[in-house]
Amino acid sequence: MDGLRRDLPPLNWLRTFEAAARLLNFSAAGRELNMTQSAVSQQIRLLEHHFGEPLFVRAHRKVVLTHSGQAWLPVVQGAISGLQRSTAEIFSPLGEGQLVLEVNIAFAMLWLTPRLHRFVDRYPGLSLKLVHANWENEFDNNGADLSIMHGRGDWPGRVSEALLQPQLKPCCSVRLQGLLNDPDDLRSQPLLEVIGNRQGWAEWFQCVEVATMPVTIRHKVDSLAMAFQMAEAGLGVFLCYEGLLAKGGLRHHLHLPFDTPLVTEDNYYLSWPEGRSLAKSAQLFIDWLKEELAD
């Protein structure tokens, strides 16, 4: 019996189990699968014999899942869904199918979303599913084809390609730009710091040789997108990637008063699990993303 448990049962048994477990009704499962109720019942019995334990508890006119059945249902549903999606992706024409992207919130709002219409216009048959995430442990929880993450890019088991120049510059609202002619002028302005960045204002002031200036952070936020919004509202000055401003509408609302950059360990990275074959849609997105960044 142990040998049997290591073998996967036939796919049609899995489909029958999924329908019966989801509907908790063998007759309803039969109607959905175009099978008789007795055929559904027989396949479930074969499946239970295969594993050597029951998956359902039969009661009068109703069935309920056993603990093993409850545990196995999401596994089967995930496997069937993944098989259907991968099959459609592999055999669908180029530029069709679905692309699942996990994207850092700030990068999505400030860089990707304003440009995404060009990708959609190029591949109108491709469906997008975008999932926002912020911290590293929030990624790769949605079966994403690709992820755009912020950090050092040294995540174990992942391929990571840097997207921007790894440098930060002070950024403020256009209304404040006339007040900032020298780094020392920052004494009179509230400073914003993004939580999670490994380098910040203290390191930037060292770059401009204002090491004696006390660094007083007025506000802290956990997303660069929020820092952008606060700076635009005149609530302070923050350190940002110049690449997020380039050729975008944000250039009209935000200003870089000083040209001295802080070279950083962090960056935005395009990433995916090592050893995974990229779907057609994922490769199309990578090619388009590189074109946009080069432009």
Question: Count of alpha carbons within 13 Å of 95, Cβ hemisphere only?
Answer: 8
- Which among 184, 182, 199, 201 has a CA at the least distance from the CA of 257? 182
Tell me the backbone φ, ψ of residue 152, rounded to 5 degrees. -85, -15
Claim to verify: residue 191 and residue 250 sit in the same structural domain: yes
Whether 154 and 276 map to the same domain: the answer is yes
CATH assignment at residue 200? 3.40.190.10
Cα–Cα distance list, 212 to 180, 205, 225, 240, 254 (Å): 19, 9, 30, 23, 28
Sorting pLDDT into bands at 50, 70 and 90, what band is 1? very low
Among residues 54, 75, 90, the one where a domain terminates is 90
Asked if 110 and 184 sit in the same domain, the reply is no
- Work out the widest C-alpha separation in the chain, in whole angstroms: 83
Clarify whether residues 178 and 223 are in a common domain.
Answer: yes
3-state secondary structure (DSSP) of residue 230: helix
Q: What is the pTM (predicted TM-score) of this model?
A: 0.67
Q: Cβ neighbours of residue 178 under 8 Å, at least 6 residues apart?
A: none
Domain of residue 258: give its range: 167-264
**Strand 56-59 versus strand 217-221 pairing type:** unpaired
State the total domains in the chain.
Answer: 3
Same domain? For 151 and 275 the reply is yes
Domain shared by 180 and 66, yes or no: no
The answer to whether residue 251 scores a pLDDT higher than 60 is no
pLDDT tens, 82-132? 787 777 666 766 556 788 899 998 899 889 998 999 999 999 888 898 988
